[in-house]
Structure 1
Amino acid sequence: MATPSVDITALTDDQRQALEQFAAVTDQPIESAVPLLQRCQWNVQVAVSRFFDGEPPDPVTEGPGAASVPPPRQTSRRQETLIDGASSFARSSSQNSDLEPAPRVVPQPESQVSQQAPVLLSLVLVPFNILYTAFSKVFGFLGHLFPFLPRLLARMTTRSASAANRRNTSGRRPLNPRDTAARFIREFEEEYGPNELPFQEMSYAQSYDKAKKELRFLLVVLLSPEHDDTASFVRETLLSPEVVQFLKNPQHNILLWGGNVQDAEAYQISAALKCTKLPFSGLIAHTPSVSSSAMSVVRRIPGPMAPDSYLSKLRTAISQNSEALDRVRAQRAEQQATRNLREEQNSAYERSLAQDRERTRQRREAEEARRRAEQEAKEKEEAKEREAQKLKKWKRWRAQFIAPEPSADVKGSVRISLRMPSGERVVRKFAPDAAIEDLYAFVECYDLLQGGDLSISEKAEEPSGFKHEYKFILVSPIPRQEYDVESGGFVKDRIGPSGNLIVERTELDDDEDEE
């Protein structure tokens, strides 16, 4: 009877992934792999173990009716490859299973350490807890009524505590982790003399984090002064020249941390590292095969040992884990290089963006300045045009009041010869009582008087809000004398019966200034 076909589309994603893994390891067809995985609850490791170890035939799928079906034929070469793959898979699994995670121990103060009582004892102590709570509330109420009771109780408690402290003088004074490490180094030098061991003067947690960040090996050495083998181990093994040089060599990337198990931190570390015999040495390293951030104990060296054996164990453990650490370092270096390149690209992009923004700002400011200049020029031109219109209107109004030239029979008339700015020579007579301002008004309105642009029938009005200023001055050439309009007076009194004057402009137009 042929094996029924398996509908792969009915399987879930996890089941398909398990089927692919099982087929990749065992090279079995899908028809025979699916029933085995179903019997193993789709557990790939259990299915692979049963496949290579051999399992009894299933009474349902491999009964008498299925006995006539021959098993799939496998070549000896393929069988050898599968066995080798399974053995290598087993070796890697066993190697990873031998690695135990190295905990990051942060010592807790003894005053904060609390132990949970057993459940049966907790049930027994429930009535006492209720009585204690009630007594505390009653005592608090009495302390509120009688304030001297809490002070009296505090004084008694202080005396009893000081007496207990005086009795307990055999223990070591607890310090913070950094000071504890410094005390260990100082006591080590006092006991065994000056040495070159590179002990880390920091807490275990800080050394742990440093080794994890820098991908270095952390060698933890735990000692006990009360142990008989401590002195011989330190003098003969730990302080031997070859061990000291090995630990100091920067190529080995070793961080050395030591502790006295009489201190709380070292005692907690010994319990966390499962120390069974003192003196103890444990080598901790990053193990990427376990996880991307795992720190594991790659080697334990319990008890005293000769320097050669001690170094051999350290070298073996370091050589076994150096390759993985080198790969992680290369990955981190590549990631850092990629990160640096990305930062440089981002920086270059930001600089280019800043330059573009600066150019845009400058272009916008230049456009704004040009528009503002055009607006100012336009406003200036409009103001000039308005000023010219008002001046023209003023000329028409002022020309109405200029007296005509006196006739020949008028005695005392003043004859004035004027040279205009255009170079034209104008000769005109003025009445003896003509004011100097009339002479200026004649010069100002000469173009209207000469061109006949005045309409006597239309009476012009003085422009409102316009203050006229003469932008020229009358000057006699020899000797030079200026006849300003502000001084006032009559023409005959200031100039005489006749005069030869030059009209000099005091203010020039923009075109004349540029020329």
Structure 2
Amino acid sequence: MAGSISSLTPSQVAALGQLQDITNGGDPGVAIDVLASVDWDVQRATEVIFDGHSQPTARHTKPPAQMETFEIDDSEQGPLLGSTGAVSGSNRKPPNQSNFLISRRTIYTLLTFPFSVISTIFRFIFGVLHIPLPRSFATLNFLTARGPSVTHRQLPEDPKSVADRWVRALEEETGAVCSSRSGNEAAATGVAGPPMASTSTLRSRGDPTTSPVLPDFFLGSYEEAMRACQRQLKVGCIILMSDEHQDAAEFKRTTLTDPQFVNFLQNNDFITWGGDIRDKEAWSTAHKLHATTYPFVAFAALQPQRSPASGTSSSSSSPVMTILSRHPGIEATTTDKLLAHLTDALIPRVKPFLDRLKAEERRREQERFMRAEQDRAYREAMNRDKERIERKIREEQEEKRRVHEKKIAEEKRLKAEGEERKRKEEWDRKRMEWRRYLRWLSKADPAPSAGLRIGIRMPDGTRGIRIFGPRDSLTALYGFVDSHFIPSEFLVGDDPTSPPSSLSSRGEAAVREEIARSSLPQEQWWRFQLATSYPRKEIPWQPNATLGGISGLESGVQLVVEIVRHDDSKKPRESLDSRNGLPPSTNASEVDDDSDDYDTESDDE
């Protein structure tokens, strides 16, 4: 032992007393040794006892994690119990301190093993029968848990698992279920219950209408529970116990399972968190809340931040989580006192402020929703405008493309028509020169009266007569007819005396050569053909034919001139070629009868 109690300083005596309060007694010598090994730091000493190993005490060791601090509103409470400040002392750990702690823990475990077995058997039997543990059993449990390893439990490090195991232990010890689980079991059996979700595996516990009910504990760490209170704007209820304390069983039996207390917490939407200080998370919470007497109940919620100078609340600053009240000990945690405090003081004081915060939160949420709706409507309108603009642009581009294509097609058509018109004009001009050349050739003296007297009737009704010799060519007859298509503005004296084209031959031979070179059917080159009036017989042009050798022309005849269309030589009698300015062709059978007033050669005789 590092020293007796009488040799300790007042600050060391206070630290020793605080450690024994937290651990519910224990061997003072062991507590002095542990405190001395950690430089008389109560928090680190408690961690050594709970975790079962010694913390390094070197100056360069990383300090413990910063814990979240809350403002403590204890205006209606007494001064804080105990002190948490560390007292400076020796920095040195006594030699063989760890071995000493291990040997004492081993001896005490061997001595309390039979009691532990008996305690486990009784817990199992009472849990199966759903019978609350008697108060005397708590004393047995307290005795089996004393010693150097009194508060050391190998618990999971996950706060949610620790909280769930602690809640399950409460259910087994009290025969009660959490309010949310009770509601789910009642729904499964057809009995109405609170509509709350369960967070643990359901277990059958008989009739849910008669089983006692526990508060719906938050499964997680203390910090997570407080953040949930802050985020959801709810009041938090913190319950700390120690199963080694003699009042723990009574608190569980009279307060935790009291229907009025549980219903009040549920109806007012409290977030309840609890734990056993033998667990690290619960002990750390007890250290934050300055809890030294158990059972311990505290209430926390968001409150306006107080001004350090005046101590009054400031509405302009953001609210902070505040410890509203603390209730240490079995006398302060009875159902009547807690309900009276909650009904008369805490709820009237906290509810208006939380309601105002909830209203502001709803207003902000509504504003966010309205902004989101406005943004959505703006984006939709913008997308519609964008689509309309893009559609209009596409339509304009399509219209421009169609106009451009139409313009190109029109230009091509006009160009083709211009070229065709020029070609036809050139052909008509050249063809007119050939007509005039043929008229010049036909100016030769007529044949003697013994020749062939041939009369022609033009499509416009005019007539012409000429006497040809039997040896005259069919080309001379066609040339004579062709000269009748020459307009009056072309005078006879201006007719060309040579072929219009540069040909090697002259006269009718040049005409035959031109027709052969033009690669056109002879009907299309002449653009007319001759036929007898009655009976109708076509006399087509032949290059080397003479009039005397053509049947039907031996004694003279009257011929009808029929226009041949430029695009269809097989339909010669349809209409007049407009380029020559001639009227539609007229069938000789429709104009003349047998006596057509045409003087034939026999009549002259």
What TM-score, normalized to structure 2? 0.42
Q: TM-score, normalised by structure 1?
A: 0.48
**Which one has a bigger Cα radius of gyration?**
2
